[in-house]
Structure 1
């Protein structure tokens, strides 16, 4: 009964969020993503409502009405047009109700440039959370954000040698570009500057050819975030988790086609923060950093995250928990605790 009430509240609030614009006051509209993560961590209905009310009063901007209707056979014309977000969302929502989310995802992702870094990875994250919550409006909104804000990083068609591993690929970029700085206050502006950097274009290897590539990328991302405590690196961590959620709904052959662009997006984000050389996990963690990986430790972090109004705390704690279940690493608990500002007690 409690779970039904929580899900009903989540879906009601996600419905209400449709009146908010894609952006917010000085930020992206993180409200639906945070609500989904809060619910997944067990936040009660009252807490979901409190977070929504906080967001509406502090950050929400009313979405402008759609200036036109986008038809199902014409949506590609609006890829890369930020003003088409609402119209694309309405188009995709109707389409999903008719054909199902997986079919629409497959159709659309086959016919537009896959751009995981769009909106500083937030479009992909929103889509992933919408799929987890099984909310048609949010799935449509995430897909519309990917289409309307399409930040495709074009690396040309020249042949590239695959990196031997994720770390080897990042190390190659670090040797050439370590310490590089890009001007711009926004993550997306630094990503665009990275994409235009000749040394990035010349050095970038092709994605490693190996099984469980996404797991390797996620492991490198959490190491990068723990080492740097960098805000862009945080978005790589949460963005890769979202990609995992999205890929579950796609045929394997399409996932194989999309993985190279996910690799490019990760590498561009890595270079955009100066391409720091990655240390090994053994070097990164001290005895004080290694926390007891137990149900009690994660419960403590969930309690802190659920009480927080910081959407990045909420999403990172949830992401680290999920990724740690799949490929355990002490870095996930340590990074989540640091972001949440908690020193966990030994149990």
Structure 2
């Protein structure tokens, strides 16, 4: 974010986004996440406003009125209640104003099974963007989404062999359920179908013994996405970065408890879409640089293109790989995602 005017406009629009429902026409509410990514890639206040106006006109659904009050001592009774999103958001927002964001995030994640697959990973991603923007309302919305749409994948890893690497673990899950067509018109529905398949409990291995598991997951997810530019795999890349942002706010002992849940959710995504092609990684001649790609993303109205470009930019800065620039550049080719 390059100026106070951008920060002020972003905050104004994130506040205004509270009038939108968790769902949108044919999708979920990507607007606040895309706005943060746009701002970080250099969008002007006018461009942020234009994207918000486009989203409101073409995708947004009005949030239903919140008629009930949920107390901070009572929110756990509403896990999995989609209609409680608005009341949960207000509950968490009030709590954050009183106690600060990190204590509330910690309390919520400690209290319920970690479910990063919720809303096709968008609940976790929205929470991360809220943290990145320092916006209490969006942090509250991310937590409310995680709780109201809660999609845990209940798998015990205690007796399962340990994966030698992230790539090997994902490949094992994909092989075990190879050929299965999971019913559902959305990523969430198909992830739910994977979670209910009794074979998945043995298909998913325990995560590799690595002191840098998130880095291993980041390498594995971008490599798989490069080999197979599947829409679900795109979400594994953005979700892994989101987990990094959220986990950075938490105590190491809590992160250690949450990591297996992330591993299981990502493994479910791989089991759902099947194995990416096992081919040599080769790269085309990339004729654009990051500055040009960011300009192209800022001009786009495609929320997934915006967020994926930003994710690739940030991950490449942290752990450089030609896969990030190549994957981001491919987003702007015809018929690519």
Normalised by the length of structure 2, the TM-score is 0.96
Q: Which residue of 1 aligns with 2:282?
A: 285
Q: In structure 2, the residue corresponding to 1:22 is in which secondary structure?
A: strand
Matches within 5 A, 1:76-155: 76-155=76-155
- Tell me how far 1:158 sits from its aligned partner: 5.0
- Tell me how far 1:2 sits from its aligned partner: 6.1
- Tell me how far 1:277 sits from its aligned partner: 4.9
| Conserved? CA contact 1:163–1:205, under 8 Å | yes
Change in Cα spacing, 1:188 to 1:206, as seen in structure 2 (3 Å) is same
Change in Cα spacing, 1:302 to 1:277, as seen in structure 2 (3 Å) is closer
Q: Which residue of 2 aligns with 1:345?
A: none
Gapped runs of 5+ residues in structure 2?
Answer: none
From 302, 312, 315, the equivalent of 2:307 is 315
Matches within 5 A, 1:152-167: 152-156=152-156, 159-167=159-167
Q: In structure 1, the residue corresponding to 2:130 is in which secondary structure?
A: helix
| CA–CA separation in structure 1 for the residues paired with 2:276 and 2:286 | 25
| Conserved? CA contact 2:114–2:258, under 8 Å | yes
RMSD (Å), alpha carbons: 1.6
Deviations 1:198-246 (A, max 9, x none): 2221221111111110111111111111111110101111111111111
Q: In structure 2, the residue corresponding to 1:198 is in which secondary structure?
A: coil
Q: How many residues align?
A: 334
Consecutive aligned runs of 4 or more in structure 1 exceeding 4 Å deviation: none
| CA–CA separation in structure 2 for the residues paired with 1:307 and 1:24 | 22
Q: In structure 2, the residue corresponding to 1:160 is in which secondary structure?
A: coil
| CA–CA separation in structure 1 for the residues paired with 2:112 and 2:174 | 30
| Conserved? CA contact 1:174–1:277, under 8 Å | no
| CA–CA separation in structure 2 for the residues paired with 1:39 and 1:174 | 37
- Tell me how far 1:157 sits from its aligned partner: 6.5
Which range is displaced more, 212-221 or 177-186? 177-186
| CA–CA separation in structure 1 for the residues paired with 2:333 and 2:136 | 34
Change in Cα spacing, 1:277 to 1:310, as seen in structure 2 (3 Å) is closer
| CA–CA separation in structure 1 for the residues paired with 2:16 and 2:276 | 44
| CA–CA separation in structure 2 for the residues paired with 1:145 and 1:166 | 28
| Conserved? CA contact 1:171–1:278, under 8 Å | no
Q: Which residue of 2 aligns with 1:213?
A: 213
Change in Cα spacing, 1:174 to 1:59, as seen in structure 2 (3 Å) is closer
- Tell me how far 1:66 sits from its aligned partner: 1.5
Normalised by the length of structure 1, the TM-score is 0.93
Q: In structure 1, the residue corresponding to 2:118 is in which secondary structure?
A: coil
Gapped runs of 5+ residues in structure 1?
Answer: 343-347
- Tell me how far 1:327 sits from its aligned partner: 1.5
Change in Cα spacing, 1:155 to 1:61, as seen in structure 2 (3 Å) is same
| Conserved? CA contact 2:130–2:139, under 8 Å | yes
Q: In structure 1, the residue corresponding to 2:22 is in which secondary structure?
A: strand
